[in-house]
Every structure is written in C-alpha cells, then in structure tokens.
Amino acid sequence: MGIPISQMWTVATYVLGQKLRGRKRYPLVLMLEPLFRCNLACAGCGKIQYPAHVLKQELTPEQCFTAVEECGAPMVSIPGGEPLMHPRIGEIVNGLVARRKYVYLCTNAILLRQKLEEGLFTPSRYLTFSVHMDGDEQQHDFAVCREGVYQVASEAIREAVGRGFRVTTNTTLFDAGGATALRAFFDEMMKLGVEGMMVSPGYAYPKAPDQASFFRERLKTNRLFQMILSNRRRGWRFNQSPLYLEFLMGLRDYECTPWGNPTYNVFGWQKPCYLLQDGYVDTFTELIEATQWDRFGRASGNPACQQCMVHCGYEPSAVNHTFGSPGGMLATIRSILFGRYRDPNAAEQLTDDAQQPHGPMVQLGLTVEGQPIDSPTEAA
Ligand code: SF4
Ligand code: SF4
C-alpha cells in the first residue's frame, strides 16, 4: 500500500466524521487548478486550448486558501496546466502545507529539478509531487508529443526522492499501448523509488450513441486493467484506493460520486466535476446545493457519463465504500494484505498481448478514427 498511515488516518477520521454528522455530500479531494498554462502541448489536452486571455489568468494564493477553507477537504490536488509555471506556486503549496492539507502537486516535472534547486519546497509528509508519466519512454513521449520528456521526468523524480520528498506517479492509460510495456514501466517507477503509483483510464466524450457500445467500451477498459493489475508483482505500490483498482478490473461496480473531487479554477467552482463543464458558481456551498446531481453519473443516463471510469468520479465512491460498511473495510484490508490478484486467464491474455503489434496509441474511449476529444481530459 503506497499511502502513509498518518494520511489514511486523517482521511478515515474525516469520512467517519462526515458520516456521523449525517452529511450526504462531502468532498474528499479538492482539485485546485491555479492556472491553465503549460510548457507541453499534449494532444487531447482540454486545458491548453483556452484563449490567450484565459491562459494568462492565475489564481492568487489568497483565492486558493479561501477555496481550500471553504471546501474543507483533507486533500488538495493541484493539476493544471503546469502548476510549477505559476509564479507564486511556492507560496500556495507552503500555505496549504501549513494548513495541514495533504497536497498532491501534479506536474509534468520539466521544471521540477530547477524548482528543487531553487529551494522552493521543503520535504513534508503533507507534500507529494505527483509526476505525470503515461507509460514507458516510448508511450510517454508519444502521449506528451515531445521526445525526451520521459528522461527529464525520470531524472526529476530521482532528484526529488533523493532530497526526501514524497513522490508518486500518475498515469492515464492509453489503449493499444501494450499492457506488458506498462507492467515493465511500473517496475521502472518502483526502482526510481516512488512511494506509489496512480492509474486511471482517460476520459473522452463518447461518440457511441447506444448503450451496447458504452458497455463494450467499459469491458475493454476492464480487460486492459485485468491484464495490467492481475498477478501483481510484489514490489508494486499504488497510491490509490484498492477498491477503485478492483472497479477498474471489473471486480466490483460503483456509481460516480461527482462531488467527491470538486474543482476550483479561474472561472470559479466547476459544475459538476473535473471533466464536465456545466457552468460555474461562486461558492462551494452553491456548488453542492445548486447542482442537479441526479443529471450526472451512469444511472442518470447522461451520455457524457456512460463510459467514464475516471478516478475523480469513482475513487471517492470506493473510499466511501471502505469507510461506509464493514464489508468495504474488510475488502480493503484483504486487498492490502493479500492483493496479488492471481488470475490465469489474465496471464494468458497478457502473453497474447505481448505478441501483438501495438499502435497507434489512442486514449481509452476514443477510436482510431475518432475525432479529437471535445471535453477536457485529465491534465497533468
Ligand atoms: S461519471 Fe465521470 S463525467 Fe460523469 S459526473 Fe461522474 S466523473 Fe463526471
Ligand atoms: S495534459 Fe497536462 S502536461 Fe499535457 S499539455 Fe495538458 S496540462 Fe500540460
């Protein structure tokens, strides 16, 4: 398990506290986007296409602190754009650490080494660099549309780990990229000394008009994750809910919890989730009270939600299951203690996969012929 006990304890007591108060909708992780600018231009990124006047905008540290306090979530994820391009990112991160929030700074790591050398950050159990790595060197450089980025990011990870920082990786999975290569990539990341890894399928607005196609897409995603996450190697650690990983493998089903990871950015609080943009409101209270939550999630029938299995919607459901029932807690403990997930069928599929030619790589949810994504994907 790649999550420190102190952090698990904070989350557990927070969730139980919310349940004791009878709060139906509560946030777990605030997705704080202090800017949309980036020093990469990945194909399919839904953030960097904003017009120049939006890309120039930034949240101030004060706006960030107000949002964090309003929201009250114990964890704050800082995606972007590239947060290390924010001129006051040190102030923002240090202010959140001082408020004892568990901060995950999501970065493509191009600037990480430089910022570490400048002494912008101090190691803390509250601060984790979550480095965007979409697979091995070939997969990652293809995904970010620039050669050499994998090497730069690997060096930055080594540097940050060496300086005593908590470092994780976050990987958005690409179809046809090769399950075997991804497993080798996990080995590589563990060798670099990361605390844990995070994986998620990408999100793409579905073009398929019928439920059967949606169902096929989800099965395809399940099959890929079965190959990758069954028969796990002993050394692998994931910085995620074990039950969410079981959901990705098709071993359990969840409904989305879109309020679990609310998003705040230069436009305000984004309705209803990190992926969809159904308007913005000024306060977190308004977000919770004014959003028509029953219009979202798979059960709503909303086409935009039918293929989605992304962590920002489903990981809160898994965490809620863990702390919301003895069965969920037992399943989590069982996974932590014994979770190798032996599966001869998955091993056989993996052998076949290794013999297949792979490529072109396509983000899960898109077809080779598909049009560019018209809704935001997970950014770095
Ligand atoms: S299912 Fe996905 S797209 Fe729909 S509300 Fe949940 S997280 Fe957002
Ligand atoms: S996906 Fe992330 S790293 Fe790539 S351009 Fe978008 S914000 Fe930058």
- Band of the pLDDT at 4, cuts 50, 70, 90? confident
* Ligand 1 lining (C-beta closer than 6 Å): 256, 258, 272-273, 275-276, 296-297, 304-305, 308, 310, 312-313
Bridge partners, 270 (sequence order): 263, 280
Half-sphere exposure of 237 toward its Cβ, with a 13 Å CA cutoff?
17
Residue 130 has φ and ψ, to the nearest 5°, of -105, 100
* Per-residue pLDDT, 212: 66
Q: Would you mind telling me the total number of residues written for the chain in this entry?
A: 380
* Per-residue pLDDT, 202: 84
Angle, helices 344-355/211-229, rounded to nearest 10 degrees? 90
| Ligand positioned closest to the Cα atom of 377 | 2
pLDDT tens sequence across 91-113:
999 999 999 999 999 999 999 99
CA 136 to CA 272: how far, in whole Å? 33
Q: Higher confidence at residue 317 or residue 173?
A: 317
* Per-residue pLDDT, 366: 41
Atom index in ligand 2 nearest the CA of residue 144 equals: 4
Q: Higher confidence at residue 290 or residue 215?
A: 290
CA 91 to CA 25: how far, in whole Å? 30
Residue pair 370/207 in contact (Cβ under 8 Å)? The answer is: yes
Q: Which of 4-13, 69-78, 135-144, 199-208 has the lowest mean pLDDT?
A: 199-208
Ligand 2 pocket test: pick from 36, 37, 45 the residue with the most ligand atoms within 8 Å of its Cβ: 45
pLDDT higher than 90, residue 377: no
Among 246, 275, 200, 220, smallest CA distance to 340 is for: 246
Instruction: Enter the CATH code of domain 5-379.
Output: 3.80.30.10
Classify burial at 369, counting beta carbons within 10 Å of its beta carbon; exposed 0-12, middle 13-18, buried 19 or more: exposed
- Which tokens belong to 170? 């976050």
379: left (phi over 0), alpha (psi -120 to 50) or beta: beta
Average of per-residue pLDDT values in the chain? 90
pLDDT higher than 60, residue 209: no
Half-sphere exposure of 355 toward its Cβ, with a 13 Å CA cutoff?
5
What is the three-state SS of the chain?
CCCCHHHHHHHHHHHHHHHHCCCCCCCCEEEECCCCCCCCCCCCCCCCCCCHHHHCCCCCHHHHHHHHHHHCCCEEEECCCCHHHCCCHHHHHHHHHHCCCEEEEEECCCCHHHHHHCCCCCCCCCEEEEEECCCCHHHHHHHCCCCCHHHHHHHHHHHHHHCCCEEEEEEEEEECCCHHHHHHHHHHHHHHCCCEEEEEECCCCCCCCCHHHHHHHHHHHHHHHHHHHCCCCCCCCECCCHHHHHHHCCCCCCCCCHHHCCEEECCEEEEECCCCEEEEECCHHHHHHHCCHHHCCHHHCCHHHCCCCCHHHHHHHHHHHHHHCHHHHHHHHHHHHHCCCCCHHHHHHHHHHHHCCCCCCEECCCCCCCCCCCCCCCCC
User: What is the pTM (predicted TM-score) of this model?
Assistant: 0.91
| Ligand positioned closest to the Cα atom of 313 | 1
Among 291, 301, 187, 164, smallest CA distance to 235 is for: 187
Atom index in ligand 2 nearest the CA of residue 79 equals: 7
Q: Which of 173-177, 271-275, 284-288 has the lowest mean pLDDT?
A: 173-177
Please state the rounded mean pLDDT for residues 133-149: 93
Atom index in ligand 2 nearest the CA of residue 80 equals: 7
- Band of the pLDDT at 283, cuts 50, 70, 90? very high
CA 380 to CA 374: how far, in whole Å? 17
Atom index in ligand 2 nearest the CA of residue 44 equals: 1
Residue pair 298/247 in contact (Cβ under 8 Å)? The answer is: no
| Ligand positioned closest to the Cα atom of 291 | 1
pLDDT higher than 60, residue 378: no
Separation of CA 329 and ligand 2 centre (Å): 35
Instruction: Indicate the domain borders of the chain.
Output: 5-379
Nearest Cα residue to atom 3 of ligand 2: 380
Among 202, 206, 254, smallest CA distance to 225 is for: 202
- Band of the pLDDT at 242, cuts 50, 70, 90? very high
Classify burial at 229, counting beta carbons within 10 Å of its beta carbon; exposed 0-12, middle 13-18, buried 19 or more: buried
Share of the chain above pLDDT 70, in %: 89
Residue pair 126/102 in contact (Cβ under 8 Å)? The answer is: yes
Atom index in ligand 2 nearest the CA of residue 46 equals: 6
- Band of the pLDDT at 162, cuts 50, 70, 90? very high
Please state the rounded mean pLDDT for residues 191-195: 97
